[in-house]
Structure 1
Amino acid sequence: MTDENQGNLGTDIIRFHRIITRGLEITIQNVNRFLEIGALKEEKREGFIKYVQSFSTVLDAHHIHENEKIFPYFKDKLPDAPYDQLMAQHKGINVLLTQINGGINNLKSNVDELKSLDLLKTSLEKIDRIWQIHMKTEEEKIFERVGSLNISLEETNRLRAEFSEFFGEHAKPAYLIVPFMLYNLSPKDRVVIAQGFPEIITKQLVNADWKDEWAPMQPFLII
């Protein structure tokens, strides 16, 4: 794959935002459906819990990644972006993710199911309101401008490897997170992001060794 086809670091992160945006949308849709019928459907319980858990992990790891790696790298190159405001929004979202994680743990333990779903709904909808503005600001002020910066292909590839390793350290377990990332993207975007993984992951682990773990999430994914 050529660098022209793959894009730049900014398009990498914009593509990653699409994973989070869809994960948030699908989670809210399904929470609302379960609340309408007054129960979490038993046949979807395991998959839904794994999906929400993966969403929470991915969003948290993404914000840690931005705070500690991405923003520091771009601060000198794009100094007029509102980094402090964006990081403050990360903190607000993190509080809501803590509430979501509490709801997930209650669902795992079959504790106060409807109350837990209500908690998820409230927290997710608050995240959604922040996320739409937050994402747009990041993309307009930082990531859509990366193409105009003088970042060499060698530097881009070095940073891609560094960023990928850092994110992987904070987004576990891989047997849920990698399928969540791949299958919350359109087939076109999926092909691009898959290029960043070793072939053993996309061809062997995701489709065989890890399949039993992530398969319950399939009703919520783009398969």
Structure 2
Amino acid sequence: MADKTEANVAPWCPFCGMDVGRPSDQVQRKMTEFPVGRCECGAVYVCDATGHNVGSAMVECLVFACNDEWDLAWELIPEEDYLTGRIENYDDVTHQVVPKRNLDGRAVRGVLYFVRLHTEVAEIAERFRKKQENPAEAGPAPAAAAVQPAVDGQGKKVRASKKKVRELVQAGDVDALVALALADIRTLRFIQRLLYAPDEAERYHVAWMLGEVCAGVATREPGPVADLLHR
């Protein structure tokens, strides 16, 4: 990241150092709707104007980099498959980085979150994009991730347990695990711990289940999934 000075400057890409354009809304509005942009070096970025939703912004940025292919995004590993970066003190009103965090008496707390896919992964994402543009050649389009229904807050609070989560994973009950995770987010941690099972086949099953559950949870609560990706 470039050295900060007291002067306000145009935002830049943390990967190539070039100035980046103002983020804008996607043509097809989806998810939590952070403005997005693309750098000439191939990186993509999203803007969290408040600086309070960086977890959700990270998820949207990664999915945007993968051309909205959720399954691909959940399979990626930080650093091994993609790099991340961020520019803080961004003012979305004037499209500037304000080191003093105050502009004309107005607090500046915005964050630009960046993702750049490694070459092989970027090529896969590009193939997905081309299929989206030519659906006739790609065959039937895969179903989009359905937004999970809200959890009923009335009645007895549902709590996850290691035993219950293990049983649901072994049974392959993705829907029940998603519902449980939305009620008690510890469910994701309990599934993650099962990745240390001694049996290789069991570990692969757990990894697949974790990806499916995260995909379901992220349609309503992307923040915890973002935290899981960085553990």
Q: Which TM-score band applies after superposition, normalised by the shorter structure? A: under 0.3
TM-score, normalised via structure 1 length: 0.27
* Higher RCO (Cα < 8 Å, 6 or more apart): 1
Which has the larger strand fraction? 2
TM-score, normalised via structure 2 length: 0.26
Considering only CA atoms, is the larger Rg found in Structure 1 or Structure 2?
Answer: 2
